[in-house]
Chain A
Amino acid sequence: ETGVTQTPRHLVMGMTNKKSLKCEQHLGHNAMYWYKQSAKKPLELMFVYNFKEQTENNSVPSRFSPECPNSSHLFLHLHTLQPEDSALYLCASSQDRTSEYNEQFFGPGTRLTVL
């Protein structure tokens, strides 16, 4: 595997379900990100981890819970979601959070549908 991978690629869940999204980066980076991409809206940064520590939480509802056990893996735990949470969830990584060039490498995303 190379780059940034995400699983599953597609997920359909009910509002009472609990599921998790997984992201893995094979680039030796130290910063990882979760973004939400909804139709006709700019990419929304959700969470940032730098060296496994959460550095940003952009007012994301508590029904989204991130976890970063090490610099290579990032999870997004989902529970009691709403239909408006349906979107493409993108994971990204970069060398670290304080690099002024901050080139981010993106995974292919998980297409989430909440029924």
Chain B
Amino acid sequence: AQSVTQLGSHVSVSEGALVLLRCNYSSSVPPYLFWYVQYPNQGLQLLLKYTTGATLVKGINGFEAEFKKSETSFHLTKPSAHMSDAAEYFCAVVAVGAGSYQLTFGKGTKLSVIP
């Protein structure tokens, strides 16, 4: 079975500071990995995804994530936080089985940006 662990349910950074949200996964097969963002009172929106190829993936709004197989990690980063980045972030892994592909989500990390 696949699983996702997001370290830190709540992260606070100052505006302009580095954002680092941690995600570790477990998977018995090469995973497909995703980061979604949820703004208040909205659904989830895809930030970026890793399937195959380049391990450094760039997404929307200046975010990027690096797939590190040896560390089973897919941490999300942004060089400089903006107030509009305040939201909840979810890491997810695709579980492959029986011809279907089920997303397994982490518990989420709420990001606060301090002016």
Contact = CB atoms under 8 A, between A and B. Distances in A.
Contacts, number: 60
The 9 tightest CB contacts between A and B, nearest first, are: A106-B43, A106-B44, A102-B101, A43-B105, A108-B43, A42-B107, A42-B105, A107-B43, A97-B100
A84 interface: no
Contact of B102 (A42, A56, A107): A56
Contacts of A105: 46
B80 interface: no
B43 A109 contact: yes
The bracket for how many chain B residues form the interface is 20 to 34
Contact of A99 (B9, B42, B43, B101): B101
Interface of B: 4, 9, 32, 34, 36, 41-46, 49, 51, 90, 94, 96, 99-108
Contact of B100 (A98, A101, A109): A98
Given A101-B32, A103-B46, A107-B43, A43 B102 contact: no
